Structure formats: C-alpha cells, structure tokens
Amino acid sequence: MGPQMPSYPVPEGASIEACGSRPNSGSLEELDSLCKEGKAKEAVELLRLLEKQHIHVDLPRYVLLMQVCGEAKALEEAKVVHEDILRSQSSLEVSTYNRIIEMYSRCGSMEDAFLVFNKMPLQNLTSWDIMITWLAKNGFGWDAIDLFTEFKQAGRRPDGQMFIGVFQACSVVGDIDEGMLHFESMSKDFGIVPTMDHYISLVDMLGNAGHLDEALEFIEKMPLEPTVDIWETLMNLCRVHGHIELGDRCSELVEQLEPSRLNKESKAGLVPVKASDLSKEKEKKKDQTLLEVRSRVHEYRAGDTSHPENDKIYAKLRGLREQMKEAGYVPETRFVLHDIDQESKEDALLAHSERLAVAYGLLSSSARSPIRVIKNLRVCGDCHNALKIISKIVGRELIMRDAKRFHHFKDGVCSCRDYW
C-alpha cells in the first residue's frame, strides 16, 4: 500500500501537481499551527527554515511532528524529522525511539522501523509491542509472529497488549489455530487474565477467517458478559461474509444494549459506515491514487489521460501487459462493470489509477527504488494480481496503501498473502 505521502483531499478534476508550498516566514507558533492542521509536508519545510534561522525546536514539538508525519504517512518528511532529532538531541530516551519506530510503522516502512529498533541502545516492552502490532497492521503477519517467538525465546515476558498484536497477526495470515494456541498460552504460561479487548480481537480473528458460527460459540463460552463492542464486531463481520441470519441476531443484541450504535446502513443489513469515514465519502466516489516521486505528490484517476507524459505511461503499461501475460497473467474482466467487449474491458483495467501511478513511478524514479502509492478505494482483485506480477517483472518493491491496509508487493508476492 506503501503509501507514504500525505493523503490530503484533491479537488475534483485537479491536474497532476506537487502538493505543499514553502512558508514565507518562520516561527514556532506557525509550526504548531501546521502540526495542528496535520500538514506534514509544510511543517517539515518550515522546520528546515527554522533550522537555517538557528531557531531551536524542542523535543515535544519533534514528538508532535512525528505524530503528524505518521498520520499523514509522509515517509520522506518522517526521515527529515528523524535526522533532525538525532542531530539536535545529545541522547534519546527509549520512549523517543519508540515514537520514531511508530512513526515509520505508520508510514508503512517497517524496514526503517527495524533499522531503528535494531540500533536502539535499549529496548523495552513497548518497543516490542509496537513492532509486533505494526508488522501485523502492515500485513506482515508471519514476521510479527516470528518476532513474538524471538521475544519469548530471549526469556522475556509479554504483556496483554502484545497478545492483541499477536492475535491481529494471526488474523492477517488467517491462521486461527495459531491464534487459539497463543490465547491458551496467554493465561497458562504467563498468567495474563484475558480482558474484553482480547476477546474482541479473537472474535475478529475468527470472523475475518469466515468462522462466524465458531466466533458465536466462542462468545457464548466467554467468562465475561459480552459487551456491545463484541456483538457489533461479530455483526459487522457477518455483514461482510453475507451471514444474514446471524448478523440480524447480533444487530438485535446491539440494539438492546446500545441503540445509538446502529445507523441506517447497519439496520438495513449493510456494513455500517463509521462516523470517521463520513467525511471521506465524497473522495471515495471516484478511483483516485496518489504517487510520491522525489518528494512530489502526483494524483491519478481511473482512465486519466491528462498527464503530460500520458503516451509514455500507457506505452509502459501496454508493454508490461504483454510481459505479464507471458508470465501467466489473465485479466479478470469481471472487475469491469461496463457493458463493453473483452478488449475494451482489458484496456479499462489497464487504466485503473494505481496502475497509472505505478507506471509513471517506473518511468520517473531511480532503478530498484520502492514505489509508494496511496489509493482512496480498496484495490480490486485484478490490480492486486497485476501488481504482484509487475513487482516480479521489474524487480521493484511496490508499496500501496488502499482503503483497508498496506500491501507490500515484492518478487511476485504481496505481504497480505492474498488475504485482504
């Protein structure tokens, strides 16, 4: 997915352009304001200006900058902040290192997170928690489980938070047996009493894998009284998997416990839209992808022909398509909803926004460097398959953040293991 550039809304019909502009003046108050507005790129440009003016930036402001960079998935800006912190501080506390790790993890760069993690003078429990949790969130489920095994083999004792990350990792890889073994080990080997958050994580793991009846049975055998959160979790998973009857039963329980949790969509048997997503609905009406190249952000829409190098982009895509077919790629035209002929459907797939972004990335970035894109919709099955094959053909890592998660395509394989 990954997507390491700020995902600011792009005006409808906007042309390809760089985002952000250099501030005219510089002050710590202006830096605070930009951070409050979540403008990572502009904040880091101002940070450079303050440095030239020899204005000292204190550690709390760097912490705020790290938070902004992480939330905006602005990897290049995150690296600048990291370098400045190392340069301005004589030594760093473990807590600061942990924030740097989390910043890189939120940007989708677990490679950078690992570099910091491995060079830390001292790692505490939180350091391991962050790495395991964010490996899972970035789709590296088995890596998270392996790191947890390494943690235990070193004689360390996990806490309850770490097990939530482990359950999420098992959910990512779809291995419920592994997850249940860790659940048993939690109390048996480490004396950790499961909380409702642990039970919700396990229901999510079972439900994501499609084991909805097993999830219900698990809830009914819980030693704790099920909360509205756990019934809402199962209800939403039932909606996703089309288990209408069980989803309606869960909906009734949610309504009994907390009627305000149900909105129009959930009452109609649909996956409810979260309140935090409502502001994004206008952005999601059209297929849109952002590409970061040399710290410049470019925007693409499906079927876009407005790019100055449009001919080169489509020529690159057509050339890749021939190589992909030789490698066994078969276009899944069911993802094209228009009533057109087969050839036109294949061309429509070719023009999906993430492919346009990747093609231009291949044309304009240095050889072997990763290509990072962010997509406002969930990636379709055909593009997911295509990007796997492209990553193998070109020998590049393609990192994409779609509406649900990060996808790291490398050597013909995606970090999600086709489970998304």
Query: What is the end-to-end Cα distance of the chain in Å, rounded?
Result: 12
pLDDT digit string, tens, across residues 277-311: 434 444 444 566 766 655 456 677 777 777 788 88
Residue 17 confidence (pLDDT) above 90 = no
pLDDT digit string, tens, across residues 148-177: 999 999 999 999 999 999 999 999 888 999
Mean pLDDT along residues 377-385: 85
- Interacting residues of 6 by C-beta distance below 8 A, sequence separation 6+: 19, 20, 38, 39, 40, 41, 72, 73, 74, 297
Q: What is the rounded average pLDDT for all residues in the chain?
A: 85
Q: Are 204 and 233 in contact (CB under 8 A)?
A: yes
Residue 134 confidence (pLDDT) above 90 = yes
pLDDT of residue 287: 61
Question: Taking the domain 24-122, which CATH number applies?
Answer: 1.25.40.10
Give 418: exposed, middle or buried? Use CB within 10 Å, 0-12, 13-18, 19+: exposed
pLDDT of residue 56: 92
Q: Are 408 and 414 in contact (CB under 8 A)?
A: yes
Q: Are 18 and 296 in contact (CB under 8 A)?
A: yes
CA-CA distance, 31 to 1, in Å (whole number)?
29
Band (pLDDT 50/70/90 cuts) for residue 334 is confident
pLDDT digit string, tens, across residues 100-120: 999 999 999 999 999 999 999
pLDDT of residue 288: 67
Give just the sign of the alpha carbon dihedral 258, 261, 266, 267.
positive
Q: Provide the residue ranges of all domains of the chain, joining segments of one domain with +.
A: 24-122, 309-414
Tokens of 213: 């009846």
DSSP alpha helix (H) spans, 89-123: 94-106, 110-119
Phi, psi dihedrals of residue 54, rounded to the nearest 5°: 60, 35
- Which residue shows structure tokens 């600061």? 96
pLDDT of residue 7: 35
pLDDT of residue 39: 94
Question: 275, 382, 268: which is closest to 331 by C-alpha?
Answer: 382
pLDDT of residue 107: 93
Mean pLDDT along residues 11-29: 48
Q: Are 283 and 376 in contact (CB under 8 A)?
A: yes
pLDDT of residue 336: 67
Mean pLDDT along residues 29-43: 94
Band (pLDDT 50/70/90 cuts) for residue 337 is low
pLDDT of residue 299: 76
Mean pLDDT along residues 314-334: 88
Judged by average pLDDT, the poorest of 179-183, 269-273, 277-281, 338-342 is: 277-281
pLDDT digit string, tens, across residues 48-75: 999 999 999 999 999 999 999 999 989 9
pLDDT of residue 364: 86
CA-CA distance, 287 to 338, in Å (whole number)?
15
Q: What percent of the chain has pLDDT over 70?
A: 84
Mean pLDDT along residues 318-335: 86
Mean pLDDT along residues 231-258: 92
Give just the sign of the alpha carbon dihedral 133, 136, 138, 140.
positive
Mean pLDDT along residues 307-334: 87
Give pTM, 2 decimals.
Answer: 0.69
DSSP notation for 154-183: TT----HHHHHHHHHHHHHHT-HHHHHHHH
